A = this chain, B = another copy of it.
Amino acid sequence: MARTAGSHSDITGPRVREAALRLFARGGYAAVSMRAIAAEVGVQAGALYNYTPDKQSLLFDLMEGHMTELLAASRDDANLGPETRLHDFVAFHIEFHHARADAVFIAYMELRNLTPANFARIEALRREYEDGLEAILRDGVAAGDFNVADTKIATLAIIAMLTGVNTWFRDGGRLSLREVTAQYWDMVRRAVI
C-alpha cells in the first residue's frame, strides 16, 4: 500500500497538530513518540514528516501558534479606565486559557524541551503578553487609581494566580467559570486598588 483513499494534506495536517497537542499535553513531549502521534492520526510514522521537518519543530509550532493567538486575541483599549481595562484582562485571561487548556499546559510545561533558539522566541512572546498587563498597572498607578509598589511583581503575581485556575477548574463543578472569574477579579481588584 502507499497513498490511502481520501488522504489530503488539508485534512491530515490539522489532525497531526491536534493529535500532537493532545498527546503532548497528556503525556509530555519526551514521553510521546512520533509513532504514537501517527497512530492517533491513523497513519504511519513516516507520513508525519510531510507535515513537520522534525519532532522539535512540531512542538515549537504548537507553542508559537498558541502564543501568537493569545497575543492576537488579547486587546486592550487604553482609552478606558484602568480598572475596566484590568477587569477585561482578568476575564479574558481566564476565559482564553480555559478554552485552550492543552495548549496552555504545553506552553508552560515544555519550555525546557525547546532548543535555546526556539526557547528565546517563545519567551519573547510571553514577555510581550506580560507587558500588556504591566502597561495597565502602570497607567493605573500613574492615574492614581492603583496602589502597586512594583508593577513587574504585581504582573507576574496576577498572571500566576489567574493561570492557576486551569490546574483545578473543571466544567460542571461546584462553580461556573463566570462565578470563578468574579471571585478572582474581586481578589485582583482589592490587591491593586
List chain A positions with a Cβ less than 8 A from chain B. Answer: 26-31, 109, 112-113, 149-150, 153-154, 156-161, 163-164, 167-168, 175, 180, 183-184, 186-188, 190-192
Task: For the A-B complex with A157-B187, A159-B164, A188-B191 known, give 4 more contacts whose Cβ atoms are closer than 8 Å.
Answer: A27-B30, A153-B184, A156-B168, A157-B184
- Complex interface: chain B residues within 8 A of A29 (CB): 28
From DSSP, what is the main secondary structure of chain A's interface residues?
helix
Q: How far apart are the CA atoms of A113 and B191 in the complex, in Å?
A: 36
The reply to whether A153 and B28 form a contact with Cβ atoms under 8 Å apart is no
- Complex interface: chain B residues within 8 A of A30 (CB): 27-28, 30-31
Name A161's contact: one of B27, B113, B160 (CB within 8 Å).
Answer: B160
Q: How far apart are the CA atoms of A29 and B27 in the complex, in Å?
A: 11
Q: How far apart are the CA atoms of A29 and B175 in the complex, in Å?
A: 34
Name A157's contact: one of B159, B161, B192 (CB within 8 Å).
Answer: B161
Q: How far apart are the CA atoms of A170 and B88 in the complex, in Å?
A: 31
